[in-house]
A and B are shown apart, each in its own frame.
Chain A
């Protein structure tokens, strides 16, 4: 049981380049999330999805786009990378319930934009 898998684990981009981060979960979770972690800031929600075909903005969505074409996959795109997007990115997933459950996280993607 792989849980939540993120690819790639590391990436260096030049300013202005684009890339897509892939998140895959095998737990049949409805909810999926993309967070970024910066020193002293904790984890901040970028975008999330409450089900296949739906996405919504989180706390820091600017400069990112997402897609949830399949229930098990949640893609995070950077169309034109900026140094401010240097961060560690975490994907997470959780069940949809009437009450808030815990989320399961991937191992993270360390992105450096130079």
Chain B
């Protein structure tokens, strides 16, 4: 049973509009969350993170929201650009797991010109 779920395998958005990628988790012990972006034939690269003591973290065009009661986080990209087209992985960890992350299956984002 997956502890971190990304229920949308793919998402298409028009350039300039907002992209919203969702992630749900089942383990209430998770207290740190990250988003990674992955281009084809490359390794994942870190995008943005959020600790459970916050409900929002912004970095330029990227904002991550955390709803602990719903065990849900989302990544907002505004405005979306064609270069944002990639697979986005949500990852979660708990202090009791040390530095080991549990990854979701990923969402493929396509930003259309």
Chain A positions within 8 Å of B, measured between CB atoms, are 4, 31, 33, 35, 40-45, 48, 50, 58-59, 90, 92, 94, 96, 99-108
Choose one: B4, B32, B43; the contact of A105 (CB below 8 Å).
B43
Top 5 A-B pairs, shortest CB-CB distance? A105-B43, A102-B46, A42-B103, A43-B103, A42-B105
State how many angstroms separate the Cβ of B54 from the closest Cβ of chain A: 13
Interface size on B, residues (CB 8 A): 28
Interfacial chain B residues near A108, Cβ < 8 Å: 41-43
Answer whether residue B45 sits at the interface, using C-beta atoms and an 8 A cutoff.
yes
- Cβ–Cβ < 8 Å partners of A96 in chain B: 99
In the assembled complex, 10 residue pairs joining A and B whose CB atoms fall closer than 8 Å, in A order, are A42-B2, A42-B106, A43-B44, A43-B89, A44-B103, A100-B93, A101-B99, A102-B34, A103-B99, A104-B46
Does B105 lie within 8 Å of A40, measured CB to CB? yes
Report the bound CA distance from A92 to B4 in whole Å: 20
Residues of B within 8 A of A (CB): 2, 4, 6, 9, 32, 34, 36, 41-46, 49, 51, 89, 91, 93, 95, 98-106
List residues of chain A with CB within 8 A of the CB of B89.
42-43
Known pairs A31-B99, A100-B99 / 18 extra A-B pairs, C-beta < 8 Å = A40-B9, A40-B105, A42-B89, A42-B103, A42-B104, A43-B44, A43-B103, A45-B100, A45-B101, A48-B100, A50-B99, A90-B43, A99-B32, A100-B32, A102-B49, A104-B46, A107-B42, A108-B41
